[in-house]
Amino acid sequence: MKKSLLPGKVNLAAIGIICCLILVLGGAFALYHFKGRAITVQDVSAASKISGLKFNQKEKKMMLEDLQTNLKSFQEMREISLENSVAPALVFNPLPSGFDFSRLREENEFLLDERGEVSLPENLEDLAFYPVTDLAWLIKHRRIGSEFLTRLYLQRLKKYGPKLRCLVTLTEELALEQAARADRELAAGIYRGPLHGIPYGLKDLFATRDYPTTWGSPIFKEQQLDVNSTVYEKLTEAGAVLVAKLSMGELAWGDIWFGGQTRNPWDPEQGSSGSSAGSASATAAGLVAFAVGTETWGSIVSPSTRCGTSGLRPTFGRVSRYGAMALSWSMDKIGPIARSAEDLALIFKYLVGPDGKDRTVYDLPFSYNSRQELKKIRIGYLKEAFDRARNNREKYLGVLDVLTSLGLEPVEIKLPSIDPNIISFILNAEAAAAFDELTRTDQDDLMVRQGRNAWPNVFRQVRFIPAVEYIQANRIRTLLIEDMARILKDIDVYVTPSAGPNLLLTNLTGHPAVVVPCGFDDSGHPLSISFIGNLFEEGKALRLARAYQEATGWHLKHPDLSRLDRMEDGSEAVK
C-alpha cells in the first residue's frame, strides 16, 4: 500500500472524494428537508387517490423530480404578497357564442312613471317604510329635507340596529354632512336625481376611506382601507347619503359575523340568512331607504326572501367590484335591496357601467320601461321547481295565476340536464385563493364559525382540488352557458320559486334575477318568487316583477318591530 506523497499533510485526493460525497448527500438532505421531506411514490399514490386517478409505479417515479420542482415554485410564489384586491389574469365571460350586443345598445331606454303627489303620513316615523320613489318626490318638492330624513334613519339604526345585529358602523358624521350638502344644493336649484338626499346602507365589504371595512370577521375588525369603492363613489355622485355599514356573514357566508347572528325583523328568533344579511334586515326594518349587497351563490336572493324585501342580482359584469371584497372573481355580483322592483330599477341605473378598474364590467346600457306592454314580454316558468316545492306550493302556483290574470301565458321550460352542483367547487377554490394567507398562517382559527360546514375547513379541503379539474369545471360551465342560451332563445323572463338548483345554475352562468315577496307561510315568514332574465336584460325582469307587485301588494307589508322594543340588545339567543 502506497504511503501518502504528503505524509503528515492533508491528502488532496481524499478531500476531493469527501467533498463530492458531501455535495451529493447534502443535496439529498436539502431535497428531503425542503419545506418537509422529499415527495415519494407513496405520496403520489395518496394524492392520486384523493383525485380519483391511477398511475403505475414507473409513472409515479417519473413524476417525482417535477413534483418537487412544482413544490419549490409554490413556496416561492407564497413569498409574493397578494392583497385581496388583486384579481387573477383570467376573466370570466358569461356570453354564449354569437351573443348580439347591437340589439342591447339599440334598446337603450330608461323610463319611470311620473310620480303623482305623495302625501306625508300622520306619523312621520312611517316615512321609514316609504319606497325610494316616494321619498324622492318628497325631497325634490321640498316637503321634507334630507337632513330630517337622515336623522330619522340614524335614530332607528341606533334603536334597532343592535337588536337586529345588522349594524356594524354608524356613519353619522358623514351622513349628516352629506345630507346637509344635499339640502343646500336643492335650495340652490341643484338636483342630482331621484337618489338626491336618500339615506342608504352598504354591506360591510365595500371600502369607504373614512370608516372600517370589516368583512364580518374579527380578523379584519380594525381594517380601514385607503380607497373608496366604486359603488360608494357612484352613489355619492348621485347624491345618496350613507348612514351605515351593515352586517354580513363572515367573509360572505351566511348571517353570522363577529357581532353575532343578524336577525330577521319578521321573526327575531330567526337569522336573516345569506351574507347580505344586514342589508336585507335593515331595509325590511325601515332602518335605511335601501341598501347595496352582493351575491355569489344566493346572498341577495336568500336574505331578501327571508326578510321580505325586493332584491336584484344583476348580470355578471354589470357593476364594478372595485373596492369590494373579492370572494369569487368569476361569480361575485353587486346589486340593490329595496322595497319594490321600481326602486331596484331606479337605484340600479346609478350603479351600472365600467370605471376602468374592474375589467369584467361591460359598457352596455341598462334599459327599463315601466310602461312596456306586458304581452310583449315572453314568459316561461320552471315547472319542475314548482312541482318540487312541497311546502307552500299553492302560494307559488298563485304567482302563475296572477301572471295569467295579467294577460300573460307562461310556457314550461326545463333547466339544462347537467347538474350544476358537480362544479360548485369553483366558488370554493376561488374563495380559498382569495384568503389563501389565512389558511397558511393559521389565522383561520380566529374566524367565528368553525367546523365542517364553515370557511376554515372549506379553505383547507379545496387545496386538494387539481388545477386540471378546476379548468374542466369551467369548461362544463361553458356548456351550461350555451345550454341556457338555447333554452332562453324564445323567452325573455322565466319565473321560479327562489330556492333550488336554479339559484346555483344562474349564478354560475351569470344570469340576472329579481326576487320579490309573494306572501307568507303559515308561521308568518315571508316567501319569495324569482324572475330570471336574459343576460343584461334586467329591465324586462324588473318590469314583470313590478306588474306582479302592483297586482298583489305583498311588497307593501312590513314587520311589526314591537317585539324588538321589548328586547334587550342581544338578550335573546337566536335559534
Instruction: Say which of 299, 340, 367, 498 is annotated catalytic.
Output: 299
- Burial 403-442, CB ≥16 within 10 A → b, else e: beeeebebeebebbeeebeebebbbbbbbbbbbbebbeee
Count of residues making up the chain: 575
Q: In the chain, list all ranges with CATH 3.90.1300.10.
A: 101-422+446-565
- Please report the pLDDT score of residue 565 as a whole number: 84
Q: Which residue type is seen at 263?
A: R
Residue 342, helix vs strand vs coil: helix
Q: What is the pTM of this model?
A: 0.92
Nearest 5°: phi and psi at 2? Answer: -75, 145
Q: How many CB atoms lie within 10 A of CB 553?
A: 9
The 3-state secondary structure of 204-233, one letter per residue: CCECECCECCCCCCHHHCCCCCCCCCHHHH
Q: Are 247 and 166 in contact (CB under 8 A)?
A: yes
- Please report the pLDDT score of residue 390 as a whole number: 86
- Beta-bridged to residue 529, according to DSSP, are 497, 516
Strands laid side by side in the 167-170 sheet: 167-170, 241-246, 199-203, 290-295, 333-338, 310-313, 513-520, 526-533, 493-497, 379-382, 411-413
Q: What percent of the chain has pLDDT over 90?
A: 90
In this predicted model, what pLDDT tens digit does every residue of 126-153 receive, in sequence order? 999 999 999 999 999 999 999 999 999 9
Catalytic status, residue 203 = yes
Average pLDDT over residues 1-17: 41
- Please report the pLDDT score of residue 107 as a whole number: 86
Alpha-carbon gap, residue 508 to 295, rounded angstroms: 11
In this predicted model, what pLDDT tens digit does every residue of 469-524 receive, in sequence order? 999 999 999 999 999 999 999 999 999 999 999 999 999 999 999 999 999 999 99
Is residue 555 within a helix (H) or strand (E), and if so which, with residue range? Answer: none
Instruction: Say which of 217, 272, 273, 275 is annotated catalytic.
Output: 275
Catalytic status, residue 275 = yes
CA 93, 98, 99, 102 torsion: positive or negative?
Answer: positive
- Class of the CATH domain delimited by 101-422+446-565: alpha beta
Which of 408, 300, 317, 330 minimizes the C-alpha distance to 364? 317
Strand 199-203 to 290-295 pairing: parallel
In this predicted model, what pLDDT tens digit does every residue of 167-202 receive, in sequence order? 999 999 999 999 999 999 999 999 999 999 999 999
Alpha-carbon gap, residue 504 to 421, rounded angstroms: 7
Residue 268, helix vs strand vs coil: strand
Which of 498, 494, 543 minimizes the C-alpha distance to 517? 498
Q: How many CB atoms lie within 10 A of CB 37?
A: 10
Read off the C-alpha cell for 173: 358624521
Instruction: Say which of 60, 163, 203, 234 is annotated catalytic.
Output: 203
Strand 167-170 to 260-261 pairing: unpaired
* Mean pLDDT value across the chain: 93
